[in-house]
Structure 1
Amino acid sequence: MSDVEKENQLLMVSQVMATRQTILPKRLIEPGPSAVEIEKLFLAASTAPDHDLINPWRFLVIPAHKREDLGELFVQALSERDPSATDEQLEQARDKARRSPLLMVLIVDAAKGDPEIDMHERVLSAGCAVQNFMLLANAMGYGTGLTSGKGLKAQSFRSGLQLNRSEHAICFLNVGTVSSRKPFKPRPEAHQFVQVWGD
């Protein structure tokens, strides 16, 4: 690869990173990624660092025909947490399952593979997989956003997703076409998060 080609590649990758922005699920609309694009996105995720190749994480895709079931899990989780939740609050919880064309749950297994590889390292690997996925989605022209919440830890929610005892639902990954964007928030500068030991 020539110096010019390297410079062009560097510029392209830097632009993809710099333009990535979190998009709320309600602003992600059809069309979502095609089957071919989704395959490429998962391939990008698979390049994440993975100590001893234990693959401690997975994506649980929520297909269209399961969205209403997911909505009921959101309702059950809220009811467990707040028995006094109003009908409006329950409907808002249910509506979360209807947003974004492509919706997945990121799950990390604390027990898979070598037990010496601790949970922090497993979650870090999963985070790298998600970032790779989101950056390629951004390069394809899609918006992405991560969402979480207390509902992910509710027993009814865990049971509904058939998670085993060692699995942790970390967050939702939402993907789709961006209907509207908020202004970009300023990124932190390097001096705000870089420190030299001894200084």
Structure 2
Amino acid sequence: MEKNASLLEYLSFRRSVPAFQMCEPGPSRSELEKILTLTVRVPDHGKIAPWRFIVYRGEERKTISEQLLAIALKKNPALSQEMIEVERTRFTRAPVVVAVISTAAPHAKIPEWEQVMSAGAVCLNMLMAANAHGYVANWLSEWFAFDEEAHAVLGVKAGEKVAGFIHMGSTTFPITERPRPSIADLTTWVGGAA
């Protein structure tokens, strides 16, 4: 396979944009269908697709945010006004939010851990597919990814886990770089010439 200069360039500056820095427009339904079509091109041992998507768009995002706020207040009635506003905007910060749901389960041949990693690959592929369509994106989990009461609001079924919420939209903020880990500190070389 030949080098792909444009892909190398993209990977050299790929960067998530904070959800609170996103604005309209977000991807249309047809763009989202294209994004999701690219998203599923990930390693998937056994071709079992151990994940699914829930797309949150439009006014329903406000309703979901208010329901999540109610759950948060029930769990912590002493939430500050600032945190109340954060909870109230969980699903309205970006024009589109897509939940990547891991449906990983015991399987005769495919380890559950591989299924979970496949869902993680889906999340990263979705970020890149959104970027390829000209949108910024961010992969978040947040408290409600792990809360069963919130799962009922979000459409997550029993036995499923949230791999992440992918926020997509546009931005008027400059996209800045952040420090990256040192490859020398993370890599062990075994064999081969220097």
- Distance in 1, matches of 2:5 and 2:182, equals 19
1:150 equivalent in alignment to 2:121: no
Deviates more, 1:76-85 or 1:55-64: 76-85
1:40 equivalent in alignment to 2:34: yes
The aligned residue for residue 10 of structure 2 is 16
1:179 equivalent in alignment to 2:134: no
Specify which of 119, 126, 131 is matched with residue 112 of structure 2. 119
The aligned residue for residue 88 of structure 2 is 94
Give the SS at the match of 1:106.
Answer: strand
Give the SS at the match of 1:84.
Answer: coil
- Distance in 2, matches of 1:170 and 1:139, equals 21
1:77 equivalent in alignment to 2:71: yes
> Segments of 4+ in structure 1 off by > 6 A?
none
1:159 equivalent in alignment to 2:155: no
CA RMSD of aligned residues (A): 2.2
1:109 equivalent in alignment to 2:82: no
AA aligned opposite 2:5: L
Displacement after TM superposition at 1:158 (Å): 1.1
AA aligned opposite 1:39: E
Displacement after TM superposition at 1:153 (Å): 1.7
Displacement after TM superposition at 1:176 (Å): 0.9
Displacement after TM superposition at 1:84 (Å): 2.1
Deviations 1:21-45 (Å, cap 9, x if unpaired)? 1111111111112333222211111
- Distance in 2, matches of 1:91 and 1:51, equals 42
- Distance in 1, matches of 2:11 and 2:24, equals 23
Size of the aligned set, in residue pairs, is 191
The aligned residue for residue 132 of structure 2 is 139
The aligned residue for residue 62 of structure 1 is 56
- Distance in 2, matches of 1:11 and 1:187, equals 22
Give the SS at the match of 2:79.
Answer: coil
Deviates more, 1:182-191 or 1:154-163: 182-191
Deviates more, 1:179-188 or 1:66-75: 179-188
Task: Give 5+ residue unaligned stretches, structure 2.
Answer: none
Displacement after TM superposition at 1:57 (Å): 0.9
8 Å CA contact 2:123–2:164 kept in 1: the answer is: no
Deviations 1:39-83 (Å, cap 9, x if unpaired)? 221111111111111111112101213112211232133124323
AA aligned opposite 1:71: S
Deviates more, 1:118-127 or 1:101-110: 118-127
- Distance in 1, matches of 2:157 and 2:26, equals 30
8 Å CA contact 2:69–2:84 kept in 1: the answer is: yes
8 Å CA contact 1:77–1:151 kept in 2: the answer is: no
Identity rate, percent: 27
Q: TM-score scaled by structure 1?
A: 0.84
8 Å CA contact 1:16–1:139 kept in 2: the answer is: no
Displacement after TM superposition at 1:165 (Å): 2.1
